[in-house]
Amino acid sequence: MKIGTRISPDWLNRPDDLRFLKQIGVDCVDITLDICPGYSEAGGRANRAGLEKVVETINKAGLKIERANTSNRDYIKTFLGRPGSEQELDNLIANTELCGEFNLPVMGIQCFQASLFGHFPKSLHSYIEGRGKYKHLKVDLSDALDQPSPEGAPTHEEIWERTLAIFRGVVPVAESVGVKIAMHGNDPPVSSIFGVPQILYNFTAFDRLFSEVPSPNNGMTFCVGTRYESGEDVFEGIRHFGEQNKIFHVHFRDVRGTILEKKSYEEVIPDSGDLDMYQVAKALHDVGYDAVIDYDHIMRLATDGPEGREYIAYCVGHMRGLLQAVESCS
């Protein structure tokens, strides 16, 4: 397995900050395509020169791009059934082809999130104090579940149809250019928030996505945190999807509490949550997963800057220790 991290877009202009990742042993990075010059201006479509610049900068620091992510805002019209969906799909296909051209192994396609429909009447997020008073995210869904659907919101089946339309358009292209499409799924993983439906919130939904658009290039970002939050068994999920070679990328994040039990959860430092991250790493290893694990969200430490270099270093060290231990046992 390899270790990945996200990067701060402005690090592209500050080579020291990219080099620090390589120095602490990071292998790969995750980018969002909107960091490519010209992407946003073209309405969510990368151009060759723009992506080339990003790839070159990252390679020069000794790193490789593992996953290029798209934003669900890039195909919001499709999800909401508004005019312009053809252009969005065309952009996604062009992005896929470009990722193939630069040999980027994985491209992320996001699902429809309830937040895309509009602002929630009440924030789900608060920041609470953890170990040593570091601030971390708490997501509380106790008022947000089982609410009536607001007027004009798409139905579950509509979201399915529109999501599948995207996948039916993109996946064959991904196959032909050798790019894997990784679906992260909803975060928070629930079937609706304040009545707005979401579809990709459990293992069954991923199974449906993979059976409706069957392809070795149609798989998932297995977000350990999100999958745990849902209340489903993370280890069963790793076995189930890993054995089918559907895990293309892993978010290696720890959580305290599940929605199933408490309707809330907290995102915490990886050695301090409910999950035994050694066992998670071992399960991934046992199922033959050999791509990237990435710690995902950043916690703010007392002396850390906004980019979280100390926190990143801590997580990378933690992942490296777990991987070496797991790999030495086999």
> Where does this chain bind another protein (CB under 8 A)?
14, 16-17, 19-25, 61-62, 130-134, 269-272, 276-279, 301-305, 309-311, 313-322, 324-326, 328-329
What CA–CA distances, in Å, run from 155 to 38, 81, 178, 194, 231?
34, 11, 33, 13, 24
**What are the residues facing 125 on neighbouring strands?**
139
Where helices occur in 153-262 by DSSP H, the ranges are 156-177, 203-212, 224-229, 234-243, 259-262
Residue nearer to another protein on the CB measure, 100 or 308: 308
User: CB 16 → another protein: shortest distance, Å?
Assistant: 4
Cβ proximity to another protein, 62 vs 150, nearer residue:
62
Q: Which is nearer to another protein, 61 or 223 (CB)?
A: 61
Q: Find the angle CA(114)-CA(300)-CA(294) to the nearest 5 degrees.
A: 65
Minimum distance of another protein from residue 186's CB (angstroms)? 29
Question: To the nearest whole angstrom, how small is the minimum distance from the Cβ of residue 300 to another protein?
Answer: 9
Q: Which residues make beta-bridge pairs with 137?
A: 127
Give dist(CA 96, CA 76) in Å, integer.
18
Which residues is 128 bridged to in the sheet?
136
Residues in Cβ contact with 286 at an 8 Å cutoff, skipping those fewer than 6 apart:
none
Q: Cβ of residue 267: shortest distance to another protein, in angstroms? A: 14
Q: Which is nearer to another protein, 265 or 314 (CB)?
A: 314
Contacts of 21 (CB under 8 A, 6+ apart): 5, 7, 29, 61, 63, 312, 316
Which is nearer to another protein, 207 or 276 (by Cβ)? 276
Residue closer to another protein, measured from CB, 204 or 303: 303
Considering the complex, what minimum distance in angstroms separates the CB of residue 273 from another protein?
12
Residue 24 C-beta: closest distance to another protein, Å: 5
281, containing H or E segment = helix 277-286
